[in-house]
Structure 1
């Protein structure tokens, strides 16, 4: 005799249960964009020199590595995984760029090898998560220390500061006639590619399905392991590219480059509306989240606020974003449960007797 057990209900987001205008405007992503616009307006009115083109240039230069890494990180978190090793991969890629350039390799060759090293590091993470079956949180905490240790071990306390001038100038250059750095061009290309993949392809829909219920996704024919492995490979490759840019921007290859950047990336992704529990998120919200944190930090620094206070504000924003996401999901589930109970009671009520003549 077999017994039936109740399976845990799958989490479902009713994406089309509301009118189109509400789906477009009454969202977390729209709220973050509105807050970003508000911060910019207030900073322009109240912070000296915030309206300078140089402020825009330095702001975009500083957030460019975070913007780049946030693209694959968004996809990873949507599948209910995480990659804490991205900043260490940036540091390792930076060190490889410096060592190979110092050894006499042409810079383009050194850069390609550095990106390849980042790709291999991401593949190593993906192998441990998808083949060995370890939790991504534990794996990437371990590889965070491993990759950083390798980077520091290769250079020790020394730094490499000699790079071809034409490449460092390119990393610091702006698009002619604008205060926008040239690095925004490859970022825009990658953002368009990632947005198309995530929002307009079966592969992107499979990521949301995995995040909502990986068992159901597997039964529907999605190769969950291969999909997650590819995401970690993408994360490693983009982090490697960010490491090359970071090295050129600051003309400095050190083992401790980008220390702590993983927290900035994750904070921006979660602030941009991606659910830490998987299954929800959009790239435009993430980009707005990165720009919000960068703009707020830039305005506060111009207002002579210390970096410690800026870190506290960033931490508060992260906590609020996670708590609000969980609270909204809880309220939605309570409302759905209440509606279900009312419908159940209505169906169980006997029909009223016909009035007597």
Structure 2
């Protein structure tokens, strides 16, 4: 048996194999722990404030983290391949600045929005090519573009915010589905969450993503286009960062170059807390979504208690560390 044939067998098993269904496997999933934590934190917030357990307030709460959620969706797939994208929030700022600059000079907002989407995808493509062609580590590449893209946003707009977006555009970030308390931004997120979930868990592309995270070299020997898949993932990340930029600009009705500062931390925290292994090969979109809402409820509860933003940042960092350590500790306990 030649080397190529031998390497195909484990990769095919990684792509095609499915765990047998059982109730034990179902209820021991990480997502159930997140559901329990959601209920627990919800009960705490209910005791903190009588206004928490209110339908309108609960829906309005989601305005605060929909942009983070949009960025967390492709981040899940990138981390499953053992990659990372630290530039995602800076890419958001660059896309927002691009749209704002064009609008400031008289370009229709929809053209500026399309340009922002193109710039976001281009920024992701640049990350992907540096990683796959030049063979630089994802951490180093996206740390560099983290500064580069934010700097480009400042170069385009400086410290002067751009305002005056048309009402139909701001409705995307501020409005509700007609006759309901459901924000339009929430619906946008849920649509893309379903699409990314199907892409990851129900397509050969998604199975290849898992296979790359488990054994990249075996995937290369078996003929899987690893570099092409990785580049597409970073392009998806850039495109979703651009979409998040549009939603954020619509929500605030203005654009500043310091928008979304630190949002990359929140997106990564949601992904890792959702059960995605930082070392690659494991993850689920449902876990990312549940973790996103869990973090959102925690932040909302801290806001109800008037806890300063600096303390909230400390809590977010602590949650990220716990999210990385806890699966390893649980895994060691189960082996014993």
Considering the TM-score relative to the shorter chain, is it more than 0.5? yes
Query: Unaligned stretches of 5+ in structure 1?
Result: 1-9, 336-357
5 Å-filtered alignment, 1:125-204, equals 125-204=127-206
- Aligned-residue offset at 1:58: 3.1
Q: 2:212 aligns with which of 210, 213, 223?
A: 210
Say whether the 8 Å CA contact 1:212–1:279 is kept in structure 2. Answer: yes
Q: 2:86 aligns with which of 62, 75, 84?
A: 84
The separation in 2 between residues aligned to 1:196 and 1:20, in whole angstroms, is 22
- Aligned-residue offset at 1:55: 2.4
- Aligned-residue offset at 1:185: 2.2
Say whether the 8 Å CA contact 1:125–1:139 is kept in structure 2. Answer: yes
The separation in 1 between residues aligned to 2:126 and 2:162, in whole angstroms, is 27
- Aligned-residue offset at 1:179: 2.1
Query: Unaligned stretches of 5+ in structure 2?
Result: 1-9
- Aligned-residue offset at 1:292: 0.6
Say whether the 8 Å CA contact 2:48–2:304 is kept in structure 1. Answer: no
- Aligned-residue offset at 1:311: 2.0
Say whether the 8 Å CA contact 2:173–2:249 is kept in structure 1. Answer: no
- Aligned-residue offset at 1:18: 6.7
Say whether the 8 Å CA contact 1:270–1:318 is kept in structure 2. Answer: yes
Q: 1:325 aligns with which of 324, 327, 330?
A: 327
Question: Pairwise CA RMSD of aligned residues?
Answer: 2.0
- Aligned-residue offset at 1:168: 1.1
The separation in 1 between residues aligned to 2:118 and 2:265, in whole angstroms, is 24
SS in 2 for 1:163: coil
Larger Rg: 1
Q: 1:39 aligns with which of 28, 41, 47?
A: 41
Say whether the 8 Å CA contact 1:199–1:205 is kept in structure 2. Answer: yes
Matched, 1:301 2:309: no
Q: Which residue of 2 aligns with 1:287?
A: 289
Q: Which residue of 2 aligns with 1:248?
A: 250
- Aligned-residue offset at 1:251: 1.3
- 142-151 or 198-207: which moved more? 198-207
- Aligned-residue offset at 1:19: 5.3
Q: Which residue of 2 aligns with 1:123?
A: 125
- Aligned-residue offset at 1:93: 0.9
Say whether the 8 Å CA contact 1:79–1:208 is kept in structure 2. Answer: yes
The separation in 2 between residues aligned to 1:291 and 1:94, in whole angstroms, is 25
Change (3 A) 1:21 1:249: same
The separation in 2 between residues aligned to 1:36 and 1:219, in whole angstroms, is 43
Q: Which residue of 2 aligns with 1:353?
A: none
- Aligned-residue offset at 1:330: 4.3
- 111-120 or 17-26: which moved more? 17-26
Q: Which residue of 2 aligns with 1:100?
A: 102
1:44-97 Cα shifts (integer Å, max 9, x gaps): 243231123442233211111011111100000000000000000110111111
Change (3 A) 1:264 1:253: same
The separation in 1 between residues aligned to 2:19 and 2:100, in whole angstroms, is 53
The separation in 2 between residues aligned to 1:331 and 1:138, in whole angstroms, is 34
The separation in 1 between residues aligned to 2:274 and 2:172, in whole angstroms, is 30
Say whether the 8 Å CA contact 1:16–1:23 is kept in structure 2. Answer: no
1:206-233 Cα shifts (integer Å, max 9, x gaps): 1111101101122222111111000000
Q: Which residue of 2 aligns with 1:257?
A: 259
Say whether the 8 Å CA contact 1:48–1:302 is kept in structure 2. Answer: no
Q: Which residue of 2 aligns with 1:71?
A: 73
The separation in 2 between residues aligned to 1:138 and 1:35, in whole angstroms, is 34
SS in 2 for 1:89: helix
1:284-328 Cα shifts (integer Å, max 9, x gaps): 100011111111110121122222332222222111110112234
5 Å-filtered alignment, 1:211-230, equals 211-230=213-232
Say whether the 8 Å CA contact 2:48–2:301 is kept in structure 1. Answer: no
The separation in 2 between residues aligned to 1:169 and 1:27, in whole angstroms, is 38
The separation in 1 between residues aligned to 2:253 and 2:303, in whole angstroms, is 23
Say whether the 8 Å CA contact 1:49–1:302 is kept in structure 2. Answer: no
